[in-house]
Amino acid sequence: MKSAIIAFTMLFASISFADERVFDCQATQLNKSADVPAEINIQKNPTVLFRHGLQQWSLNVGDYKIDTADLNGPALHLDIDSTQTSVEYIFSVEASTEFELSISVVDHTAKLYYWGLGEKTHVGNFKCEVVEQAR
């Protein structure tokens, strides 16, 4: 019986390490004057979907998508910084910062910023649903 419990615990632990966290965010307030590229289409598609796994991640902002699973895509990089109340995800494409997503660990609200020509622009505020799932 003890062996069965240990085996179950090891299996459960290995499954949980394979999980990814999904942040499915809907806009609560958009900055209508935010200077973002038109192809992002954030005004008509006011969503952010961020999938963060151990080895891969993807980010959808409006109609724009970047994904580390796309081997033919641009070079991507993710930096993560945290405080007691929030986690900052900084997304770079071809060594240039594109987006910053700041998510509150208290209530899962988020602020999205776009970095255009080196200037940080507040795109909007979002309410996120956080789901952990197997990939």
Let me know if residue 114 belongs to a domain.
yes
Q: How far is CA 65 from CA 10, 39, 99, 104, in A?
A: 35, 10, 12, 23
Which two tokens mark 117?
Answer: 């020509």
CA atoms of 37 and 6, how far apart (whole Å) = 53
What is the span of the domain harbouring residue 71?
A: 19-134
Let me know if residue 2 belongs to a domain.
no
Mean of pLDDT values over 43-69: 96
Let me know if residue 98 belongs to a domain.
yes
Task: Report the number of distinct structural domains present in the chain.
Answer: 1
Let me know if residue 62 belongs to a domain.
yes
Give me the pLDDT at residue 13, please: 39
Residue 34 contacts residue 124 (beta carbons within 8 Å):
yes
6-21 residue pLDDT tens: 433 333 333 444 489 9
CA atoms of 27 and 111, how far apart (whole Å) = 9
Q: Does residue 66 sit in helix, strand or coil?
A: strand
Q: pTM for this structure?
A: 0.82
Residue 58 contacts residue 51 (beta carbons within 8 Å):
yes
Let me know if residue 41 belongs to a domain.
yes
57-82 residue pLDDT tens: 999 999 999 999 999 999 999 999 99
